[in-house]
Chains A and B, each alone.
Chain A
């Protein structure tokens, strides 16, 4: 990862969207600057407030942080990769 560090007291994460979520929002990847100690749940609420397709995302989508499923209460760290995971359909 070659993420630049955010300003002091802030953290920068990369949000990834896939499949139906990507098409709904029209964005594949987004850099977001957040206050320290932001949780996954707070980030989701912040994204939904952006309106448009973001507001039409489910309230509590599955989320992976750094390629592992996480929960709403997980605290984010600078440089984290946060993926919104639509219902899966492998197999």
Chain B
């Protein structure tokens, strides 16, 4: 079953791996996004993620469903963490299993790219010099923005 979550809890990648494991699937692709200690030349001490919680969860569910269709497997799991994270901590984890590696990679790739494109989550970086700033981010590319104009 596809599984996803937006949570304040620390991420355990092994949990995702277990969620997607299946005897017939020889490939498990596991992606982690972690907090870097530097961004655009500035030392980073911590990152604070804020989400539009209910929508982030719904949108992540839609992304996971797309990845499942793309990879031809329902063994897709994704979690995005929110709150304050230190350097090296995982902010996002994605696992996809499939009989073969190409689909597992493609599914995981879809999830991370779409998270970056449209998940309503924001990031405030706290720098070693004591300042902090919201990252400028990406204008969300959405299904609504791509679809032709049509009355509902």
| A interface residues with partner B (beta carbon < 8 Å) | 16, 18-20, 23, 62, 64, 67-71, 73-75, 83, 85-91
Contacts and interface: CB of A to CB of B under 8 A. Distances in A.
8 contacts: A23-B134, A69-B143, A74-B152, A88-B122, A89-B121, A90-B92, A90-B121, A91-B91
B134 A20 contact: yes
Interface of B: 33, 49-52, 54-56, 58-59, 80, 91-92, 112, 115-124, 134-140, 142-145, 149, 152
B118 A69 contact: yes
Nearest to A67: B55
Interface of B: prevailing SS: mixed
B33 A64 contact: no
Contacts of A64: 52, 55, 120
Contacts of A18: 50, 52, 120, 122
Q: Can you list the 4 inter-chain pairs with the closest CB atoms, starting with the nearest?
A: A87-B137, A90-B121, A19-B122, A69-B142
Nearest to B119: A90
Contact of B124 (A19, A68, A70): A19
